[in-house]
Amino acid sequence: MSQTRTIVIECLRFHPETDEAPYYQSYEVPFTEEMSVLEGLQYIKDHLDGTLTFRWSCRMAICGSCGCMVNDEPVLSCQTFLRDYHPARIRVEPLAHFPILRDLAIDQTDFLAKLESVHPYLIPSTGDDPGDQPRHQTPDQVQDYLGYAQCINCLLCYAACPQYGLNDAFTGPAALALLHRYNADSRDAGKDQRMEVINAEEGVWGCTLVGECSEVCPKHVDPARAINQNKIASTQDYFLRFLKPRGRR
């Protein structure tokens, strides 16, 4: 085993049954070269303090459970390594901009509602019945949306987005990127249904292109691009709707 060193992990603590407000608690954690921040937290829970609460599951950066703030940076704790911070202490906090349920666990119900609001499923055009055959889609057509289909719903983008922090009515990066994922799919014909979400004040217009959502995304989804391309789409829709035949809004 590689050499063991010690690092101080300072965690935000909040217990809804006993605490009026959050506070910080520090733990000294022995760590090895390959230990992640998540493994540091697990060490604390297993050996030092069983009350420390956080979410985790796959520990390989695909389930999206373990997002948190490390020194004000939204990260997946499973792929953030203690060696990169030593000898300084690190501060671990719950994802910014979300209500804190307990310690590092945030309340994600608002996000889930937003995810549901964008019609995140294929809406085929009526009369298009592929029967029991797979539809055709060329690799290039797959590429049009595949990048936006990589979102693991880890919420780091929301924690990086000050617009969401300032106004949580904003639909936000991940949900809008997912909306764009289906719009960009050659098999989909549901753009019109999703346009309402895009066009709303809390749709793409809640974004001021801070751009941090794309910077912190561990899966390179680039929500900022999805949102800002749809500003053009929304603008076109705004001005061209008068030219459209009646009955189509």
Partner 1 sequence: MDAIESDLVIIGGGGAGLRAAIAAAESDPGLSIALVSKVVPMRSHTVAAEGGAAGVIHPDDTLDKHFEDTVSGGDWLCEQDVVEYFIGQCTRELTQLEHWGCPWSRQDDGNINVRYFGGMKSPRTWFAADKTGFHILHTLFQASLKYPSIRRFDEFFCTDLLVEDGRVQGVLAFNIATGESVLLRCKAVILATGGASRVFGQNTNAGIVTGEGMGMAYAQGVPLRDMEFVQWHPTALPGSGILITEGARGEGGILLNKDGYRYLQDYGMGPLDPWPRPRAMELGPRDRVSQAFWHEDQAGRTVNTPNGSAVHLDLRHLGEKKIMERLPMIRELALTFAATDPVDSPIPVRPAVHYTMGGVPCDANGATPLQGLFAAGECASVGIHGANRLGSNSLAELLVFGRAAGESAARLARESTTAPANLEAQANEAEARHLKMLDTTEGERVAAIRAEMHDIMESGVGIVRDAERMGQACERLSALRERYRRGVKLDDRGRCFNTEWLTAIELGHTLQVAEAMAHSALARKESRGAHLRQDGFDKRDDENFLCHSMAWHQGDGPPRIDHAPVTITRSSPRERIYGRDSQPEQPAREE
Partner 2 sequence: MNQPRTYTRGMQRWWLRRPSYRFYLLREGTSVVIALYGLFLLAGMAALAVGPGAFETWRGLLFSPLSWLLHLVVLAAFTFHAWTWFKVLPLTVPPVKTRRFPRGFTDATLNRVALWAWGVVSLVILVAAMRGLQ
Partner 3 sequence: MKPRSHEPIFWSLFGGGGMLAALVGPILVLIIGLLVPIGLGFGPEAMNYEQMRGLLGHPMMGFGLAILIALFFFHAAHRILHTLHDLGVHASERLKLICYGSAAGGSALAVLVALVLVLRG
- The footprint of partner 2 (CB under 8 A) covers 14, 16, 19, 21-22, 72-73, 96-101, 107, 140, 144, 160, 162, 165-166, 208-212, 214-215, 222, 224-225, 228-229, 231-233
Do the Cβ atoms of 101 and 107 come closer than 8 Å?
yes
Q: How many whole angstroms separate alpha carbon 192 and alpha carbon 233? A: 11
C-beta of 19 vs 192, nearer to partner 3:
192
- 189-228: which residues touch partner 1 (CB under 8 A)? none
Q: Please give the radius of gyration of the chain, using alpha carbons only, rounded to the nearest integer.
A: 21
Closest residue by Cα to residue 195 from 230, 239, 157, 247: 230
Of 11, 16, 156, nearest to 98 by C-alpha is 156
Of 76 and 227, which has the nearer Cβ to partner 2? 227
Question: In the window 126-185, what residues touch partner 1 (CB under 8 A)?
Answer: 130, 132-139, 141-142, 145-146, 149-153, 178, 182, 185
The closest of 15, 14, 40 to 27, measured between CA atoms, is 40
205 binds, among partner 3, partner 1, partner 2, none (CB under 5 to 8 A by kind): partner 3
47 binds partner 1 (CB under 8 A): yes
Answer with the entry of partner 1, partner 3, partner 2, none that 113 interacts with (C-beta below 5 to 8 A by kind).
Answer: none
Inter-residue contact 182 to 188 (CB < 8 Å): yes
Name the binder of 188 from partner 3, partner 2, partner 1, none, CB < 5-8 A by kind: partner 1
53/117 with CB nearer partner 3: 117
Q: How many residues bind partner 1 (CB under 8 A)?
A: 64
* Nearest approach, Cβ of residue 7 and partner 3 (Å): 35
d(CA 181, CA 104): 30
Task: Report d(CA 175, CA 203) in Å as an integer.
Answer: 10
List the end-to-end C-alpha distance of the chain, in Å, as a whole number. 66
Q: Which residues bind partner 3 (CB under 8 A)?
A: 162, 166-167, 196-197, 199-203, 205, 208, 231, 234-235, 238-239
